[in-house]
Structure 1
Amino acid sequence: MNSDTLKIGILGIGGIGGFVGAPLAKKYKDSSTKIIFICRGETKKVIQNEGLLFESKGISETIFPDLVSDNPAEIGILDVLILTSKSYSINNILATYKDCVNEKTIIITLQNVVNAKEIIRETLPEVGQIMEGCIYVASNVKKPGHVQHLGGPGKIFIGGKENKALIPLLVEGGLDITYVASISEILWKKYLFVAPVAAITSAYKVTFGQLLEDQNLMQILGNMMIEIQSLGAKNNIILTNEDIETSKDLLTKFPFESKSSLQLDFENHNQTEKQFLVDYVIENAVKFGIETPYYNGVNEKINTLYLAS
């Protein structure tokens, strides 16, 4: 660590950042562990003045972190940087906050990708110790400064070089975190769920519950998962048929009306993670000579619906 005071920055106070940051800020208020919300614009203004309104399991709380800022000089060097921003913004954001990271800073990733380390190293080739991770949760922004946890277990897995002091501190801060020495298989298992579900719900404009009720769409989903299974094998990751069934069953753990973040971004005309959840599968399958007719079909439907104009 960099000093006696432990500084943890949560970069991006959206659905995931709010879910992660709220319990940490609540637990470590007025302690030697400082929680910093790194955000900008209206979100920063609202949280600075009114706090973060966080809803979970029928309880609403207003949370004030130790600092809300988008100024690297004010934030200073961080001991821990938790990346909760969308995958497409990682490089630009890290370039902005590179002065908040040194060789001792632990960078925790929670993106829905299997190549977060490679993305980070494009901007920070040597600085920071990367612990790749993933989170299972449905949490959305109702409006700037107001985050609502909709469902999902909220389980976090992280891996990489183990820091024996950090994990207990995050657990004590209210996060359900498990450390695993080898994270790649877990990242692919998460991707096996997230990527095809995001794609098919966007293409057919259905909620998780509507997807479950449509046998034809569930069959397409299963075939898309088989295509990712084949891609995983080319990356020395074994995804079993049981993993596919587990991923399908995970849909039942979310509220009927849940939507994927990709779908919500398309609906709200925001920048999307299609590059990482759809294009990545198709492009890498081509490299390995894998046929992806189901992913291709869903991709064409997405392009027609949202990107044709």
Structure 2
Amino acid sequence: MRRPYRIAVAGIGGVGGYLGGKLAAHYQYSESVHVSFICRGEQALAIRERGLLLWTEGEMLRCVPHDLVSDPGTLAPLDLLILCTKTFDTHALLRACAHAISSETVVLTTQNAVEFKAALAPLIRREATIFEGAMYIAAGKVEPGVVRHLSGPAQYYFGTNGGDTERGGAISLLLSKAGIKAEFTEKIRSVLWQKFLFLSPAAVVTGLKGICIPEILQTVESKALYTSLFLEIRQIVEQKGVDLQGVTLQKQLELLGRFAEGVKTSFQTDLERNNKSEVGTLVGDVLAAAADLGLSVPNYTQALKSLRKKYPLILNNQHSKKAT
């Protein structure tokens, strides 16, 4: 008898809670698909007690995975690993569950990073498949065991820069059956840079100004800062020869205005809660890319200094050497 198709979702926060919750709810009674959560602490305790409660599109789903593990070392061999951890936690996680990844495993990323595959590849068996991905969603953990999809659509893009369409299509179907809007693309590099081009400036402005995403448009100063940061990243993208598929500053500004009142970037939330932040990715990677290309990014340079001044305890000992 063939064993179940094994899926593990690592990191049950906003993104992981949505993706993992949808999968667990749909495949809860399936004998052919087995869903595991990888999480720790209060989140794990709450989910063990009552399942994950996912609020989305006006309804609450009680999501019970087949298994919940706090130690990735106990995982059985996986067919699909969905990485929803922060960028700085991903390497340790992959080392811990290396035994469960084989030539048959597909690894999906959701991190707010570009060209992340190159950093992950040395930690994953060469025969395994890595599909980079970008998740568009406003969601967050409300309390232990409860995740709320805050507003707007939830859309996941994943794929390659050419090829592997059959395998990608099969995973897209698997996710879609669970109610996840998922699309496989052979132009994932373009998709990742499009998201980063929006998110990085938004994260910096909300973190510095202490305002929500739609409030960026409400003052001349915050809108001007977002614009200057956007233009600095765009010059990097253009130098790299990435096709932005019609993305313009005006479209990005319009997107800011479509977020519901009160929606924050996860970067801002992490700073406010004194948690580790992705400054190394959202700011440090921009500075590193600009340096490699010989480009000037004075607004990002100043933004990092200002962030460190505002949040000295959590940013002066950061997690990426790029954020220097």
Give the TM-score of the pair, scaled to structure 2: 0.90
Q: Does 1:251 align with 2:256?
A: yes
Give the percent of matched residue pairs that are identical in Structure 1 and Structure 2.
28
RMSD: 1.7
Query: Paired residue for 1:281, among 283, 286, 300?
Result: 286
Change in Cα spacing, 1:81 to 1:303, as seen in structure 2 (3 Å) is: same
- Identify the residue that residue 227 of structure 1 maps to in structure 2: 232
Unaligned residue ranges in structure 1 (runs of 5+) = none
- Identify the residue that residue 195 of structure 1 maps to in structure 2: 200
Unaligned residue ranges in structure 2 (runs of 5+) = 317-324
Give 2:154's aligned amino acid: G
Task: Determine the C-alpha separation between the residues in 1 that align with 2:125 and 2:82.
Answer: 18
Change in Cα spacing, 1:182 to 1:239, as seen in structure 2 (3 Å) is: closer
Task: Determine the C-alpha separation between the residues in 2 that align with 1:83 and 1:230.
Answer: 29
Task: Determine the C-alpha separation between the residues in 1 that align with 2:297 and 2:245.
Answer: 18
Change in Cα spacing, 1:281 to 1:4, as seen in structure 2 (3 Å) is: same
1:207-228 per-residue CA deviation (whole Å, 9 max, x = no partner) reads 1122121122112211211111
- Identify the residue that residue 152 of structure 1 maps to in structure 2: 152
Change in Cα spacing, 1:24 to 1:240, as seen in structure 2 (3 Å) is: closer
- Identify the residue that residue 305 of structure 1 maps to in structure 2: 310
Task: Determine the C-alpha separation between the residues in 2 that align with 1:288 and 1:72.
Answer: 38
Cα deviation for residue 75 of structure 1 reads 2.4
> How many equivalent residue pairs?
307
Task: Determine the C-alpha separation between the residues in 2 that align with 1:95 and 1:63.
Answer: 27
- SS of the residue corresponding to residue 206 of structure 1 reads coil
Task: Determine the C-alpha separation between the residues in 2 that align with 1:203 and 1:106.
Answer: 37
- Identify the residue that residue 37 of structure 1 maps to in structure 2: 37
Task: Determine the C-alpha separation between the residues in 2 that align with 1:165 and 1:284.
Answer: 34
- Identify the residue that residue 92 of structure 1 maps to in structure 2: 92
Aligned residues of 2:138 and 2:152 also touching (Cα < 8 A): yes
1:179-203 per-residue CA deviation (whole Å, 9 max, x = no partner) reads 1112100100000011111011101
- SS of the residue corresponding to residue 248 of structure 2 reads helix
Task: Determine the C-alpha separation between the residues in 2 that align with 1:300 and 1:73.
Answer: 39
Cα deviation for residue 241 of structure 1 reads 7.2
Task: Determine the C-alpha separation between the residues in 1 that align with 2:15 and 2:256.
Answer: 18
Q: How does 1:130-141 map to 2 (within 5 A)?
A: 130-141=130-141
Aligned residues of 1:86 and 1:273 also touching (Cα < 8 A): yes
Aligned residues of 2:75 and 2:97 also touching (Cα < 8 A): no
Q: How does 1:61-72 map to 2 (within 5 A)?
A: 61-72=61-72
Give the TM-score of the pair, scaled to structure 1: 0.94
